[in-house]
Structure 1
Amino acid sequence: MAKVQMTRGKFNGIQACADANGIIAAAAMDQRGSLKKAIAKARGAEATNEDLTAFKTAVTRILTRYASAILMDPEYGLPAIAQRAPGTGVLLAYEKTGYDASVRGRLPDLLDVWSVRRLKEAGADAIKILLYYNPFDDAAINEVKHAFIERIGAECAANDIPFFLEPIAYDDAVGDEKSFEFALVKPKYVTAYMAEFSKPRYGVDVLKVEVPVNVKFVEGMRVFSGQKAYSREEAKEFFRQAADAARKPFIYLSAGVSDEVFRETLELAAEAGTPFAGVLCGRATWQDGIPVYAQQGLGALEAWLEDRGVANITALNETLAQGAKPWWTIYGGLENIEVIDLPVQQ
């Protein structure tokens, strides 16, 4: 395999987000609107911006002792990243939370007062973008999204910082992404976006992706709903097909499932021989702490995190140790990467 060239800033940034073995065991805490709604629902009263910062800071301070990196938003989370454990990498989100439901296509938008340069100055080791993406949508919608990702890729290249892209599959014609109907088409959608955004034109360095199946509909899984979309062997083949489409390191997101379900999902990925490079796991680790915080306050959340939160993330790390592969595996090994220096920017 020919040597792969990578700039020093991008190489160092990915390494900062990985552990000593090259596994990205990152915690996600960039939720904004969804977290505020969840706290408010559990409390039965409005949640404030101060609630978000307090929650994010507690999660960061306690759980980053067991994580290689933390994904955070710059809107409410900058005080939190100051509380991270030494040696923890920082990914900062660049997109606005949610999307305008009144406009077709779930079009993305960026935070108004931020740029890649500013995020880097705020402490980012890498930049993360979430993109709702239907590979089979109208060409006009996807052209907008392709150009959007190309611009961000170019901005990250100019600032020599890694670009983590999180595509989320959807199809408004099929409906709810958690449904049986969507489960039937999900493997095709995830495989297609992994192939698309592996193309060099986008400048993506790491893909943060969904698993290509909905494990509730995999016969033989502990969480099997009773309605079969795929057998266990079929599910493993979908994992392999999606992985084969990738030309960049990829990590899995937890997508809001419980920690037990996410670990079982990763075990299935490992059984399929999928060379995933780790995870960016958020809600699976800490979501059960939301009602604790909402109803009992910050001290109770901290106690819960020290107990259940730590148990969740250490169990996840044990699963990663069994199944994940170093991020450089897709490039033929660490020795196959040639790190090059760029001129220093003023």
Structure 2
Amino acid sequence: MRTITENKRKALLNLTNDQGIISALAIDQRGALKKMMGENGTQEAIEEFKMLVSEILTPYASSILLDPEYGLPATKKRDSSAGLLLAYEKTGYDATKPGRFPDLLPIWSARRIKEAGADAVKFLLYYDIDEPAEINDQKHAFVERLGSECAAEDIPFFLELVSYDSKIEDVKSKEYAKVKPHKVNDMMIEFSKPQYHVDVLKVEVPVNMDYVEGYGTEVVYTKEEAMGHFKTQSESTDIPFIFLSAGVRAEMFQETLRFAHSAGSDFNGVLCGRATWKDGVKVYSDAGAEKAREWLQTQGKSNIEALNKVIQETASSCFEKIK
């Protein structure tokens, strides 16, 4: 069990629901959202879509994750009951050299994120546990600096970890599915160490459900093996952790949460984005804001309410792991 400051506790209370569970909506996508919108992906359009999502869906979320580049207008549209996380990283990573190195938004800091009204700082890191030390040590130092910065500002630090293998190009492949449990669970062990000052880990599930017995056409893991990986993941950290949806369809993400719970995973909620609002992007691009509003008020709302029901049945309180 970790000890946190009173200010961080208050911030986490703003980000969680009445049960201490994080049922957060993520729409900090920038490059990905621009790509989804195609030629319609202007600054104004991306800002407007984020505002619509924030206005219409935050009444059903404990908090929302946005970005300072396109999401600041949307922070003003969120429901008064919803907490706020802001992303600190530039979108994507440095593709000019090995290592998928991250970078920070140049005119932002933990202090400025806090001053913008955020309850927490979120940072995304691509990480391959098996890359050489000269790469991973740089990432370790980078995250240590971020953690110290957030500790100095007394604001919660959410670290989003996305695994990869430098030798396997397709993370959705059968080849990657075989190594994914090791990649995900071992990096959680690393970044749960106290020197990083991480308050909440945002992580992938440790298997590709498309290769779990009974869920996909090919089998990499039996049900028992997959459950074992979820249980090992839960035991790999002593701090709160939440699942990201990784863009899978809404029904599959909900079923994955049920599977995690049945495996004994002690996860503490979700930060779910595309599984909730993805199909609304095409509606917005093709038919405009009013049609997108209608879609979000119906199908978008239905997606998030269905997810909330599953979260209530499967996740546990963050405050069971902190004092």
| CA distance in structure 1 between the aligned counterparts of 2:234 and 2:222, rounded to whole angstroms | 19
| CA distance in structure 1 between the aligned counterparts of 2:247 and 2:105, rounded to whole angstroms | 23
**Which residue, 246, 255, 274 being the options, matches 2:246?**
255
Aligned to 1:318: 309
Residue 15 of structure 1 deviates from its aligned partner by 1.4
Q: Does 1:207 align with 2:201?
A: yes
**Which residue, 41, 53, 59 being the options, matches 1:65?**
59
Q: How does 1:109-148 map to 2 (within 5 A)?
A: 109-148=103-142
The C-alpha deviation readout for 1:295-344, integer Å capped at 9, x for no partner, is: 0000010000000000000000000011000012234xxxxx2xxxxxxx
Aligned to 1:305: 296
State the secondary structure of the residue aligned to 1:114.
Answer: coil
The C-alpha deviation readout for 1:205-253, integer Å capped at 9, x for no partner, is: 00000000000000112xx1x1111011110100000110112100000
Q: Does 1:84 align with 2:84?
A: no
Amino acid aligned to 1:265: T
Contact 1:93 1:129 in 2 (8 A): yes
Contact 1:60 1:81 in 2 (8 A): yes
Contact 1:16 1:88 in 2 (8 A): yes
Aligned to 2:15: 17
Residue 4 of structure 1 deviates from its aligned partner by 4.5
Runs of 4+ in structure 1 deviating by more than 4 angstroms, as ranges, are: none
Unaligned runs of 5+ in 1: 332-336, 338-346
Contact 2:181 2:229 in 1 (8 A): yes
Aligned to 1:8: 6
Residue 183 of structure 1 deviates from its aligned partner by 0.6
| CA distance in structure 2 between the aligned counterparts of 1:4 and 1:71, rounded to whole angstroms | 24
Amino acid aligned to 1:53: E
Contact 2:59 2:81 in 1 (8 A): no
The C-alpha deviation readout for 1:24-64, integer Å capped at 9, x for no partner, is: 00000100011011101xxxx34200011000000000110
Contact 2:2 2:239 in 1 (8 A): no
Contact 1:195 1:247 in 2 (8 A): no
Q: Does 1:172 align with 2:154?
A: no
| CA distance in structure 1 between the aligned counterparts of 2:11 and 2:236, rounded to whole angstroms | 24
Unaligned runs of 5+ in 2: none
Aligned to 1:227: 218
Q: Does 1:101 align with 2:95?
A: yes
Amino acid aligned to 1:162: P
Q: How does the TM-score come out when normalised to structure 1?
A: 0.92
| CA distance in structure 2 between the aligned counterparts of 1:13 and 1:106, rounded to whole angstroms | 31
| CA distance in structure 2 between the aligned counterparts of 1:219 and 1:6, rounded to whole angstroms | 40
Q: Does 1:276 align with 2:274?
A: no
Identity of aligned residues (%): 52
Contact 1:26 1:281 in 2 (8 A): yes
How many residue pairs are counted as aligned between the two chains? Answer: 323
Contact 2:128 2:183 in 1 (8 A): yes
Contact 1:166 1:208 in 2 (8 A): yes
Contact 2:227 2:263 in 1 (8 A): yes
The C-alpha deviation readout for 1:93-142, integer Å capped at 9, x for no partner, is: 00000012111100010000000000000011000000000011110000
Q: Does 1:36 align with 2:34?
A: yes
Residue 273 of structure 1 deviates from its aligned partner by 1.3
Contact 2:110 2:150 in 1 (8 A): yes
Amino acid aligned to 1:129: F
Aligned to 1:187: 181
| CA distance in structure 1 between the aligned counterparts of 2:239 and 2:78, rounded to whole angstroms | 28
Residue 264 of structure 1 deviates from its aligned partner by 0.6
Contact 2:64 2:83 in 1 (8 A): yes
| CA distance in structure 2 between the aligned counterparts of 1:5 and 1:277, rounded to whole angstroms | 17
Residue 159 of structure 1 deviates from its aligned partner by 0.2
Residue 11 of structure 1 deviates from its aligned partner by 1.0
Amino acid aligned to 1:123: G
Aligned to 1:330: 321
Contact 1:275 1:329 in 2 (8 A): no
Q: How does the TM-score come out when normalised to structure 2?
A: 0.98
